[in-house]
Amino acid sequence: KALRVTKGGILQNRYGVFDQGAWIDKLHFGSVAYAKQFPKKDGAKKEASKRGGQRKRMNGSRQDGFVYVLRPTSELWSLVLPHRTQILYVADISTVVMHLRLRPGMRVVESGTGSGSLTHALYRAVAPSGSVFTFEYHGVRADKAREEFVDHGIDLKSAAADSGKGGVWVEQRDIEQLGFPTDGELYPEGSVDAVFLDLPGPWKAIPSATKCLKVGGTLCSFSPCIEQVQKTLEAMNEENVFYRMRTMEILLRPYELRTEKFNLMTEPGELVAPRTFSAGKDPSRFVRQPSESRLMAIPSEDMRGHTGYLTFAQKVKFDK
């Protein structure tokens, strides 16, 4: 389970007590942080003294609980971020980034910032010189997202003084009613490489998204209902500039590794020993059932179901 490290943070579980404040500015990413032991009761102290007062060791390492201190990534941030809205997870995010064909230096426009899960992944794909302009309908959510971008060092306003460095620009705006900005203040019209829509009515934003996109740019719309997809495709058809319109649903099925014990076949004529012997039976006449342990790959029981439909289309220029 992922956990966000904070100053003064304490994590307690059955493995021990983890003092997060002791890791900051002291441990490198990839380090192992061991837990402190719970204070032992009087009975536990007496029992420990009988054993010599020392914990057992295996292969020279302690048996205490431990965690790995990892470098922050957009995937880890999606697991620990404050949920202000429903978010996209790694299966949908990776598909979006791949089909938008993002690379460093590109310009991306997003509507529906929400909790900022996808926004971090979009910027990582276009960093360090690319930019992501994200718009959120709700003012408080937009302010919270801006605070997180500043805290993570990816806010575009903060990076403006650094020539050639990109970032994330977040703004409160009702895209369904007002559309994307096309006045040239944030970006020139027809200069955006990719547009992502996560709106209740994405078909309403198709006209302004078309103006923002450059020729060859890609549009993606995320919708939980198929009726939204139908209306969005109809709006794309009316623009008469989109090519390769397609919709897909991503279902991720993880597998787990388990060690299972299997009984092996015995030689012909051998009598396998039962679990219990009844009166009158001689145990020496039987042989023990041979067995071996094998490593198995088993489908995980914890699988995410339907999240939404991803619709992609590429803007092209038709000859008149």
Task: Please enumerate in sequence order all residues whose Cβ is within 8 A of that of 259, keeping only pairs 6 or more positions apart, or say none.
Answer: 293, 294, 295, 296
- Residue that is written with structure tokens 């709700």 in the block: 138
* 3-state secondary structure at position 163: coil
Burial class (CB in 10 A: 0-12, 13-18, 19+), 268: exposed
In angstroms, the CA 79 to CA 149 distance is: 16
Per-residue pLDDT of the chain (320 residues; tens, 9 = 90+): 788 888 888 888 888 888 888 888 888 999 998 888 766 655 555 555 555 444 444 333 445 788 999 988 888 888 888 888 888 888 999 999 999 999 999 999 999 999 999 999 999 999 999 999 999 999 999 999 999 999 998 988 766 555 668 899 999 999 999 999 988 889 999 999 999 999 999 999 999 999 999 999 999 999 999 999 999 999 999 999 999 999 999 988 888 888 888 777 666 655 555 555 565 566 555 556 677 888 989 888 877 788 899 999 999 986 54
227/235 Cα distance (integer angstroms): 13
The answer to whether the beta carbons of residues 126 and 132 sit under 8 Å apart is yes
- Specify the residue for token string 């100053």: 7
Rounded distance between C-alpha atoms, residue 3 and residue 209, angstroms: 37
- pLDDT of the residue at 203: 97
What's the 3-state SS for 170-235? Answer: EEECCHHHHCCCCCCCCCCCCCEEEEEECCCCHHHHHHHHHHHEEEEEEEEEEECCHHHHHHHHHH
Bond from prior residue into 128 cis (ω within 30 degrees of 0):
yes
Q: Which residues face 292 on adjacent strands?
A: 262
pLDDT of res. 61: 40
pLDDT at 173: 95
